[in-house]
Structure 1
Amino acid sequence: MATETTSGKGLALLQAEMARQGADAIASLTGNEAMAAELAASIMRTGRLVLIGMGASHYANRMAETSWRRLGVDCRAETAGDVLLQDLPAQARTLVLVSQSGESGEILQLLDLLPPGADLFGMTLAPQSTLGLSLRCLVGVGGQEVAFAATRSLTITLALHAAVLAAAGGEIGSFAATLAASRQSALEEAVEALAQKNSVIIAGRGELRGLAEANGLMLMELARIPAFGFEFGQFRHGPLEALAPDLGVLLLRGPGALGAGTATLARAALGAGTVPVIFDCSGEAPIEGAVTVAFSSNEGLSAVAAMLPALQKLIIAVSSRKVAGVGEPVRSTKITGIDHEA
């Protein structure tokens, strides 16, 4: 069957986290109003925002980055590893350190290097962590995530970003309503189109770029195959040469500018002998020849909220066709420290 799964502990943990992520995210969105207002005031005062994280936290920051830029804020999403190796700009700016565990090695190093200040904040799911106790933090509801790959933590971190954006007057659309919806997507064709591939490219634009990157990471972690997340233009500039029948292509199509280029990339994939899968919330007609998973028309973070649960299920189903013990890492740990090797 297309959605065949294994029954190991890792899979059970993933499913348990996903079962409560929507409710926890809505509670996180509405339960951080005071701190969200404080952080929003700092951002609008400085006009410059640096979002700092690692792994899935970084990709959640990448999704929020586009929304902040639309609001006129000079926003940059940086990995903590990069920040450790370079000086931050001297101008006044608001810094937000994001770590679901509050114990990521690079984040802890930054806490030792950055002087406490009025414009230094955090986001975490663990209020008693080092990060949670060191900075004023928005705190996600439900405690720290325990499954290996980021599912619930990613959704909750997006909700925390949405809370701050809303406090700053940004447009988060139907984000909360979309999280609350329990719509089930038919994924069998999409699973069949990707499960036999040796590697996968996922691509999107705007907020959907970060979503592509986050799900590329998840697929690598769970299926143990090469998977890459690209912005649509970055996919065209060189990686098209990798297109082949054994390369899977997953395109995230939003409305208007968020979907521009989808048809071009889909035709290129079809011409190379691979059927692309398109997660589509554009409201436009499906692209002929592609496998389309359709959603209601949404944009920005609402588009992310619409697609994310179905993407998680798709990646877990694909991974379950490739490896035994999905969600049980063989080389990684949930909380990654810092490598001090010279």
Structure 2
Amino acid sequence: MTRGTMGEGIGLARLQAEMARQGADALASLTGNAVVAAELAASIARTGSLVLVGMGASHYVNRIVEPAWRKAGVDCRAETAGDILQQDLPVRPRTLVLVSQSGESGEILQLLDRLPHNSDLFGMTLAPQSTLGRTLPCLIGAGGQEVAFAATRSLTVTLALHAAALAVHGVGEEDLAAMLATPPLPDVDAALAALASKTSIIIAGRGELRGLAEASGLILMELARIPAFGFEFGQFRHGPLEALAPELGVLLLRGPGSLSAGTVTLAKAAAGAGSPPVIFDCSGEATIDGAVTVSFPPREGLGAVAAMLPALQKLIIAIAGRKVTGVGEPVRSTKITGIDHEA
């Protein structure tokens, strides 16, 4: 059983409590939002354009589902609320979804004051009594607001909220529901041994796994307090390969088909620099020599994300437990980041 060595305490207990119920809450969220999901789907059909807006982990969940919406034929993009506050959006019909697990993120509150509240403005939140939850028609995540510092349950539940909207739009995500109900739990001890001593870590993936890589980098920085970066495979090749070194860890998220393309190239580059990579692999393809492979059932799309997510959470928390005391107890941040009055 994977354990940290320094990180026991209230923060860790809160993380574990959130993760213990994330699957059940996500499944409830899939089926408990039919009315607003239908309204959202009708808006998307009317405008032909979808902009997903969030900050922190909420933004990265939006980045996970962005390719799924595009595959469904929707002109979709994920933007940070901070960018929209600075740059606005071109004036044309679009559906906007503001995503905030707490419903109180500072930039989201500022956007609520600025944007016109019309039939094409929606929210997603775990907190129905929050400002966001009271102000807009929202898809509501089951189980209430997340308490633990880093996003675990909130990420999984928000993923399910997006899947509920995609389902009304005609995109089936049966694999997602199956993985939420019975997630694979492979042993990650070898992956922990490969990454725990690294001073920084790069995580990379393609398609939906790109956003998962970015979210994982954020959570690793929050909990282990080390530099960690999420990249799309191609972006990793365009320059960041220069950072490869024995002290840099590499974690590759390998999906099936085209989502596997580039894995061998990156794995060989990392191994050649003295840092054999860890590969979370749901491709169904042969393992790559020289890599530490954590295998999952072959899955694609959001099903691949849901398959990997619990094991990724377990690995990240275990790495953090080797590096800091008080895992999940922030020293410079708060759970809810409010309005920056200097910006």
* Global fold match (TM > 0.5): yes
- Secondary structure at 1:288 match in 2: coil
Q: Structure 1: which 5+ runs fail to align?
A: none
Q: Which amino acid aligns with 1:263?
A: V
How far has the Cα of 1:184 moved from its partner? 1.9
Seq. identity, %: 76
Contact (CA 8 Å) 2:106, 2:337: kept in 1 or not? yes
CA distance in 2, matches of 1:236, 1:88: 31
TM-score by length of 1: 0.98
Aligned position for 1:135: 136
Aligned position for 1:187: 188
Aligned position for 2:34: 33
Question: Aligned pair 1:265/2:266, yes or no?
Answer: yes
Residue by residue, what CA displacement relative to the aligned partner does 1:68-107 show, whole Å, maximum 9, x if unpaired?
Answer: 0011111010000000011212110000000000000000
Residue by residue, what CA displacement relative to the aligned partner does 1:148-199 show, whole Å, maximum 9, x if unpaired?
Answer: 0000000000000000001000132411011101432100000000000000
Aligned position for 1:146: 147
CA distance in 1, matches of 2:291, 2:259: 18
Q: Which amino acid aligns with 2:3?
A: T
- Secondary structure at 1:42 match in 2: helix
Contact (CA 8 Å) 1:2, 1:192: kept in 2 or not? no
- Secondary structure at 1:85 match in 2: helix
C-alpha RMSD of matched pairs (Å): 1.0
Contact (CA 8 Å) 2:53, 2:97: kept in 1 or not? yes
Q: Structure 2: which 5+ runs fail to align?
A: none
Question: Aligned pair 1:114/2:115, yes or no?
Answer: yes
Aligned position for 1:4: 4
CA distance in 2, matches of 1:136, 1:341: 30
Contact (CA 8 Å) 1:102, 1:129: kept in 2 or not? yes
How far has the Cα of 1:338 moved from its partner? 2.1
Aligned position for 1:227: 228
- The alpha-carbon distance between structure 1 residues 318 and 138, as it changes in their structure 2 partners (threshold 3 A), is same
Question: Aligned pair 1:19/2:20, yes or no?
Answer: yes
Question: Aligned pair 1:285/2:290, yes or no?
Answer: no
Contact (CA 8 Å) 2:29, 2:161: kept in 1 or not? yes
Aligned position for 1:297: 298
Aligned position for 1:100: 101
CA distance in 2, matches of 1:259, 1:165: 24
Q: How does 1:202-217 map to 2 (within 5 A)?
A: 202-217=203-218
Contact (CA 8 Å) 2:184, 2:296: kept in 1 or not? no
Aligned position for 1:166: 167
Residue by residue, what CA displacement relative to the aligned partner does 1:258-314 show, whole Å, maximum 9, x if unpaired?
Answer: 111001000000000001000000000111110000000000100000000000000
Aligned position for 1:198: 199
How far has the Cα of 1:2 moved from its partner? 5.3
Q: Which amino acid aligns with 2:170?
A: G
CA distance in 1, matches of 2:119, 2:209: 32
Q: Which amino acid aligns with 1:257?
A: S
Q: Which amino acid aligns with 2:32?
A: G
Q: How does 1:41-60 map to 2 (within 5 A)?
A: 41-60=42-61
Q: Which amino acid aligns with 2:35?
A: A
Contact (CA 8 Å) 1:53, 1:98: kept in 2 or not? yes
CA distance in 1, matches of 2:260, 2:95: 31
CA distance in 1, matches of 2:296, 2:254: 10
CA distance in 2, matches of 1:300, 1:172: 8
CA distance in 2, matches of 1:112, 1:197: 44
Residue by residue, what CA displacement relative to the aligned partner does 1:203-227 show, whole Å, maximum 9, x if unpaired?
Answer: 0001000000000000000000000
Q: Which amino acid aligns with 1:3?
A: R
Contact (CA 8 Å) 1:3, 1:191: kept in 2 or not? no
- Secondary structure at 2:87 match in 1: coil
Q: How does 1:316-331 map to 2 (within 5 A)?
A: 316-331=317-332
- Secondary structure at 2:21 match in 1: helix
**Aligned pair count?**
342
Q: Which amino acid aligns with 2:341?
A: H
